[in-house]
Amino acid sequence: MRIPLLVLALAIPTVAVGQEATQPLTATPEMLGFSSDRLARIDSLLNELVTQQKIPGAVVLILREGSVVKHTAYGFRDVGTRVPLQKDDIFRIASQSKAITSLAVMMLWEEGRFGLDDPISRYIPEFAKPSVLTSFNPKDSSYTAEPAGREITIRQLLTHTSGLDYAGIGGEQLRAIYAKAGVPSGIGNTGATIGEKMKILAKLPLKAKPGQEFTYSLSLVVVGYFVEVISGMPFDRFLRTRVFDPLGMDDSWFYLPPEKASRLVTLHDGKSGTVEPVTGTVFDGVDPDYPARSGTYFSGGAGLSGSIMDYAKFLYLFLNKGELGGVRLLSPKTVELMLAEQIPTLPVEHGLGFGLETSANDHRSPKTIGSFSWGGAFNTTYWADPAEHLVALLYTNQYNPAVPALGDRFTTMTYAAIVR
């Protein structure tokens, strides 16, 4: 028999700031409709990959009906020192930051501060009259551009249809143009602020006209700066006071407090086929230990780090229709909007901050239609399935994975363990 849905509102509750947050309920897998024997397959796979040095370590968290089904750590925080990984260790969540930024901006939207189809230039004038790249010279990264003929909207920023590209990992031409202009990927500390860099980005050409195509991009870094403009608060302060403290996400930070830095996992590289600690930089010259440094660049696209339980609380906010433990951050209708398909004219299933499971892509995985998901560049991944009242996350601490599509295998094995 499943736990009544009423428990969901109480299972991962956090209470008012200053009060101690309670933890999820724990029940046997069988009580929650899982087979312990089938869940053990996940243990076998991840332990085998650690032994083979294909992953340094991993943390798995599966919850159903607000109760913990499985929360296990495997392997090492650092394969060099052989320090065991702990369940509450802190990971670089990279692009999982995007959904948190989307929540922040939708909280302001509920206050009537702006419309989703407003042009971003109304609030950040530097984005007015954007242009589109027409030619590029690889010798010196010079280019020509023509007027886009339309403005970028806030909705387009949230759905990666703004025409922007990604620094560090995007298309070759705009990646070079961004690098020449000093626009970073959004991971790490640049010594600047997001406002300074986004104003530079605003004057660079777009890959395509706004609304024309889906291009994964720096758009959520722009949204983070937009939150600063609208709220009048630094983005890190907004998240701390309006999101993290109310939800009890005490381990979620752009730059970790000194007392939490020792729990940051070492970043590993699997490019050679086996993992070893990263000794140089990643992406566009980023120090991999950036979360343990001090910084001023609060990137809503990829800058956050946190524990796996923190992110589970965030996801349960959406399963619980905008409320968690008596704290409401969004209305049910706003959650419904965020989890609705936003770009039906393009072959991409995307809401406001999340990838979606829809009838168009449901044949690819066992996730139920209505599920929402994403992941991060350092091989963290998650999904939430409202129909199954399920949240599942897999965090590993590596760059250039030695095991492709590990998240897909984890998804398959999780659903294969559900027996009722």
pLDDT by 10s per residue, the chain, length 420: 333 333 333 344 433 323 334 456 668 999 999 999 999 999 999 999 999 999 999 999 999 999 999 999 999 999 999 999 999 999 999 999 999 999 999 999 999 999 999 999 999 999 999 999 999 999 999 999 999 999 999 999 999 999 999 999 999 999 999 999 999 999 988 889 999 999 999 999 999 999 999 999 999 999 999 999 999 999 999 999 999 999 999 999 999 999 999 999 999 999 999 999 999 999 878 999 999 999 999 999 999 999 999 999 999 999 999 999 999 999 999 999 999 999 988 888 999 999 999 988 888 899 999 999 999 999 999 999 999 999 999 999 999 999 989 999 999 999 999 999
Of 269, 376, 274, 267, the C-alpha closest to 50 is: 274
* Close Cβ partners of 92 (under 8 Å, ≥ 6 residues apart): 187, 264, 265, 267, 290, 291, 305, 376, 378, 380, 397
pLDDT in tens, 54-111: 999 999 999 999 999 999 999 999 999 999 999 999 999 999 999 999 999 999 999 9
Residue 26 has a pLDDT of 66
Q: Which CATH number fits domain 5-100+236-416: 3.40.1360.10, 3.20.20.80, 3.20.20.70, 3.40.710.10?
A: 3.40.710.10
Q: Which residues have CB under 8 Å from 102's CB, separation 6+?
A: 158, 220, 223, 338, 352, 353, 354
What residues does CATH 1.20.58 cover in the chain?
114-233
Q: For the chain, give every residue range classified as CATH 3.40.710.10.
A: 5-100+236-416
pLDDT at 30: 96
Tokens representing 266 are 């070492």
Tell me the backbone φ, ψ of residue 367, rounded to 5 degrees: -60, 145
How high is the pLDDT of residue 25? 66
pLDDT confidence of residue 10: 36
Return the residue matching tokens 């089904």. 69
Fold of 114-233: Methane Monooxygenase Hydroxylase; Chain G, domain 1 (1.20.58)
Closest-CA residue to 307 (of 411, 393, 385): 393
Helix ranges restricted to H, 151-272: 154-158, 172-181, 194-202, 219-231, 235-239, 245-247
pLDDT attached to residue 349:
93
